[in-house]
């Protein structure tokens, strides 16, 4: 497991295992930008049959073209809020539903065993019950490069 996403819905805490992560500081036109993608697993073995999560078994959270000062992420915290002119965040629900992210706080640190780690806190639209409310979420994952065994 590369991490976990928890969405704190008023009816239940929804837990998603992280399947795939991608993070990179990109240098383009003399500026550095953050590119980030976190995709959850569609495995529902740990979920109760009547859980709200069954309607949305997989999510993808993305940040693209968010300007950062330099290409070093370790020890930095970024506050990301979309505006009408600048949209940096995106949620893919793998469904026809839409959701937006709000008040995103991304904190990066380095762990000797897991490499670069991300703690992401924020709010997301309640796409589970369409209540119109924003609900909190917290994601923690790492970006350790996978070891691919090569046989001689």
In tens digits, what is the pLDDT along the chain, a chain of 152 residues? Answer: 478 899 998 888 888 889 888 888 888 888 899 999 999 887 776 666 666 666 677 899 999 999 998 888 889 999 999 998 999 999 998 877 788 999 999 999 998 877 889 999 999 998 888 888 999 999 999 887 767 778 87
Look at residue 53 in the predicted model and tell me its pLDDT: 64
Look at residue 93 in the predicted model and tell me its pLDDT: 87
CA 77 to chain centre: 15
pTM of the model: 0.85
Q: Which residue from 65, 127, 71, 124 is spatially nearest to 94, judged by alpha carbons?
A: 127
* DSSP structure string for the chain: --EEEEEE-SS-EEEEEEEEEEEEEEEETTEEEEEEEEEE----TTS-TT-GGGG----EEEEEEEEESSS--TT-EEEE---SS---EEEE-SSS----EEEEEEEEEEETTTEEEEEEEEEEE-TTT--S-EEEEEEEEE-PPPP-----
Domain boundaries, the chain: 3-142
21 and 3 Cβ atoms separated by less than 8 Å: yes
Look at residue 50 in the predicted model and tell me its pLDDT: 65
User: Please, what's the largest Cα pairwise distance for the chain?
Assistant: 56
Look at residue 42 in the predicted model and tell me its pLDDT: 77
For residue 45, give both structure tokens: 């073995």
Look at residue 150 in the predicted model and tell me its pLDDT: 82
Look at residue 100 in the predicted model and tell me its pLDDT: 92
Q: CA 77 to CA 109: how far, in whole Å?
A: 9
């Amino acid at each position: 497991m590369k991490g976990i996403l928890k969405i704190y819905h008023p009816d239940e805490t929804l837990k998603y295992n992280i399947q795939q992560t991608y993070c990179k500081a990109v240098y383009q036109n003399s500026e550095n930008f953050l590119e980030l993608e976190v995709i959850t697993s569609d495995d529902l073995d740990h979920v109760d049959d009547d859980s709200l999560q069954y309607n949305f078994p997989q999510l993808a959270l993305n940040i693209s073209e968010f300007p950062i000062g330099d290409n070093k992420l370790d020890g930095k915290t970024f506050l990301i809020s979309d505006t009408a002119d600048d949209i940096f965040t995106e949620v893919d629900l793998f469904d026809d539903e839409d959701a937006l992210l709000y008040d995103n706080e991304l904190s990066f640190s380095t762990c000797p065993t897991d490499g670069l780690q991300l703690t992401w806190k924020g709010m997301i639209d309640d796409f589970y019950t369409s209540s119109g409310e924003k609900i909190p979420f917290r994601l923690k994952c790492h970006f350790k490069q996978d070891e691919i065994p090569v046989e001689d």
